[in-house]
Structures are given as C-alpha cells and as structure tokens.
Chains A and B, each alone.
Chain A
Amino acid sequence: MGAGHGHRLHYHGHSAVHRAPAHLKILALVGFMLVVVATPREWYPVFGGYLLVLLGVIAVSRVPFGYLAKRMVIEVPFLVFAALMPFVATGPRVEVLGVALSEAGLVAAWGLAAKGTLGVLASLTLAATTESADVLIGLQRLRMPALIVQIMGFMIRYLDVVTADLGRMITAMRSRGVDPRSPRHWPALARTLGALFVRSYERGERVHLAMLSRGYDGTLK
C-alpha cells in the first residue's frame, strides 16, 4: 500500500495520448463510436480501416496490446450472443463447414462482434491512458451537470472500498465452508450481497455526516 497510482484499467505512461486533454479524448471516443455504429455492417473493408486507426492510436500510446487484450475478456458474453445469432436467426441459409446457418444471422453476428470489439477496444484505450480523476475533469469541461460528475466521482472513490468489503465478506464465508460458486450456497451469497448493500448504504450516511461536519451545504466548491 501507499505506492499505487491510478485505477486498474490505467496503464502509466507519458505518451502523446496520455498527455492529450481528457475532454478531447472523450469527444474523440464518442465521435469514433458514433461513426462506427452508424457504418452499415456490409461495408466490410471500412471496419478494417477503423481497426487500423485504433491500433495506430494504441501504438502511439505505447500501451502493450496484451494489456488491453486481457481486459477485453469483458466482451465475451456479447461475443457468445453474437455466435448464437447465425443458429437462431431465420431467413435464407448458407452452408458453412457443413452446417446450415442463417445468412442474415451471420451478417448480424459480424456487425455485433465488429462494432462491439471496436467499441470495447476504444474505451479501454481511453481508460488505459487517462486517470479517472482526469476523465471527471474532462466531463466537467464538456458541461456534464455537476451533480452527475459528483456522483461518478463518489462511485470511483468507493468502488475499491466496496469491492474490498465484498472480498472480505466472501473470504469470511469461505472460511466457514461456503463455496460461493455452488448454486447450493447462492442463498447465502444473496444474503451477503444484501448485507453489503446495507453496509454501503450506512457508509453513505456516514460519509454524508462527515461532509456536513466540514461545512458541506450541497455544492462542491
């Protein structure tokens, strides 16, 4: 403890991408995403172009690709869904490796996978090159309502605290012979989550009291 910097998605560095103002990066991300989503999915080569642009930015940022690839695991549920689509969608069928698949389903799956992957990769690049506090400052500069920025700030601040709380509760459960993965113990897990909610709620109240004690009157100065 005491030496760590940044959040778990952040990759420490000093590249041009790291140094760029956060609000420009947020605008670039949102703009990029809108263009990607608006592109008809049959324009296959264009997606290759998007990927090249993104890889170029990653190369400039000097964040190792493996670092981002590991964190892209979050996308897996969407990919599974995409992979199901050719089997369940209706319409004309095509033979792929001896299996009859829906043509429309294949195109939809491609669209979902390509756009999703580009989106996740672009977001991770922003996260890897920008400290969370800077993202908040960027959002503030983009005129995001102050209340929402405050709420997001609190969320980031207390995410680690609540995760650590949950970790300790699960360790305590395991120590008493509960396996949180086994469905037989899901009721216990559910009660743990309930207790975590109550604890977090009470912590929220205590934080509020501590803020009031330092003269808080509803606006962050």
Chain B
Amino acid sequence: MSVPVLDVRGLAYAYPDGHQALFGVDLHVRAGERVALLGPNGAGKTTLVLHLNGILQAGAGSVEVSGLPVAKPNLKEIRRRVGIVFQDPDDQLFMGSVRADVAFGPANLGISGAELEARVMTALEQVGMAEYADRPPHHLSFGQRRRVAVATVLAMQPEILVLDEPSSNLDPASRRELADILRSLDVTVLMVTHDLPYALELCPRSVVLSDGHVVADGPTYDMLTDAELMRAHRLELPVGFRPESIGSLPP
C-alpha cells in the first residue's frame, strides 16, 4: 500500500500543567480520503490537530505526513503539507484585505509575483469568493469569512486539509455551501467536529476520540447507528435525525 498522507503512531501528550490529553493515539489517513474526527468536548481533538503541523511536539510516539516526520527541521515543509483551518475565522484572517490574507501562506513559502497572484485567485475561486478579493475580511459575513479561511489554506496547496469544527456558527445555507465546496475539492480532508449529521454527509469514514484514546475507527454510518458506542462516548444525534434516511456514503 502507498504511504499514508497522515500517519500518527502511539501519540501521547501532556500539557505543561500535567494534564494529559492524548494517550497513544493511532490515526492513518490515505490520499483522497475524507475522514471525520469525532468526539465530545475535551476529548483531545484540538490537541491532536495541533500535533499534525508541529505546533505541539509529541511527548511520545510520532506523526508523519506523507512519510516526512513532524520535527523541527521539517516544520516549514510540514506546514505546507498540512493546512489547518481554525474554528474562528477571525483568528485566521488578520490582514487588511482578503487577497493579502490568502497570499500570506504562499508568500511565506517564498512564492511571489504572478504565481502568487494565480494561487490566490485559484484558491478564492475554489471557495467562490473571488469577487471579494479586495474587501477587508472583517466586513464579510461569518460564512464568507469561513470560506476565505479555507482559501488561505488551499492557496498553500496542502496535501491534507484539516478543518476544526467547520460547521460551527454557520447558518444552514452557509453550512450547505461549505459542504458543496469541500466535496468539490480534490484534496484529502480530516474534519474535526461534533456535528454528526455533517460528518455523515461528508465523510465516509470516522474516527472517534474519547478521553485521549481512539475508541472506534470505521464507516461513519456504522458509528452513528451503534447506540452503545454513541452513549459510551457522549455522542448524540440531533433529535429526530435518523442516519438510516441518509445511509452510508460510498468509501
């Protein structure tokens, strides 16, 4: 089999205050997959995400991205390969215009001139925000800002797109628009969420993280219909939502 895009082995991490967040996590994501990382609040999802591009350094175990270990000397390349879209777009968009914000990542990779411009416009077109290139980001709606945040990462042409709670605070229309965009992208996706219907809609496979352990890994449909698993790890479907009515996505 080919080298996984994301290869996490036995990852453990304790915060400096002694609180241990991850206990030997294994996670493998292959090229082209869309995987949901599910888990209740405080399960360690965000901690895991921050290991994927070396913001946090593993206490034990290892993280590899397409065969390249996440370690100090490789950080620049790792951060190109792993694109993280954070939960609050206001944390991610800090420049005076949408264009400058999307250009920020590729410019840090040393790209300039016409190629930079082309990357920026391609990324903005992928998320349907090209006409807003010269607006200041703080004047956009929340859904538009979330899409620009996705574009800031796409412009770096990552091998894996990591989204932290992509559907949070979105109205249903923006939520659907973002789903359409994610489906249209030809990129590997790891989506951290507790929005279970969204995971079912977008990700054929899910991994459940609970108290710093991976407790399940398999088709999203099987997870959401496993009442015992769901109950044991504080996962709940919205009232009235029946996965049976949607069924399983083809892997």
On A, residues with C-beta under 8 Å from B are 1-5, 132-133, 136, 153-154, 156-158, 160-161, 203, 206-207, 209-217, 220-221
Contacts and interface: CB of A to CB of B under 8 A. Distances in A.
Contacts of A206: 86, 88, 91
B107 A211 contact: no
Contacts of B83: 213-214
A212 B55 contact: yes
Size band of the B side of the interface?
20 to 34
Contact of B139 (A5, A132, A216): A5
Given A153-B95, A209-B55, 6 more contacts: A5-B139, A207-B91, A210-B84, A214-B105, A216-B108, A221-B108
Question: Shortest 9 CB-CB distances between A and B: which pairs?
Answer: A215-B108, A214-B105, A221-B107, A133-B96, A206-B91, A4-B139, A210-B92, A1-B141, A213-B84
B125 interface: no
Contacts of A153: 95-96
B94 A207 contact: yes
A2 B139 contact: yes
Please indicate which of the listed interface residues A161, A210, A214 has the most CB atoms of chain B within 10 Å of its own CB.
A214
Contacts of A2: 139-141, 144
Interface of B: 50, 53, 55, 76, 79-80, 82-84, 86, 88, 90-92, 94-97, 104-105, 107-109, 112, 135-136, 138-141, 144, 152-153, 156
Given A214-B153, A221-B108, A133 B139 contact: no
A6 to B, nearest CB: 8
A215 B55 CA distance: 11
Nearest to B50: A209
A155 to B, nearest CB: 11
A30 B92 CA distance: 35
Contacts of A156: 96
Contact of A157 (B94, B108, B140): B94
Nearest to B139: A4
A217 B94 contact: no
Please indicate which of the listed interface residues A4, A5, A156, A157 has the most CB atoms of chain B within 10 Å of its own CB.
A157
8 contacts: A1-B139, A4-B139, A157-B96, A203-B90, A207-B92, A210-B91, A214-B152, A221-B107
A136 B136 CA distance: 14
Contacts of B138: 157, 160-161
Given A214-B105, A214-B108, A215-B76, A158 B153 contact: no
Nearest to A217: B108
A132 B91 contact: no
Contacts of A132: 96
A38 to B, nearest CB: 34
Contacts of B139: 1-5
A213 B94 contact: no
Contacts of A133: 96-97, 136
Nearest to B138: A160
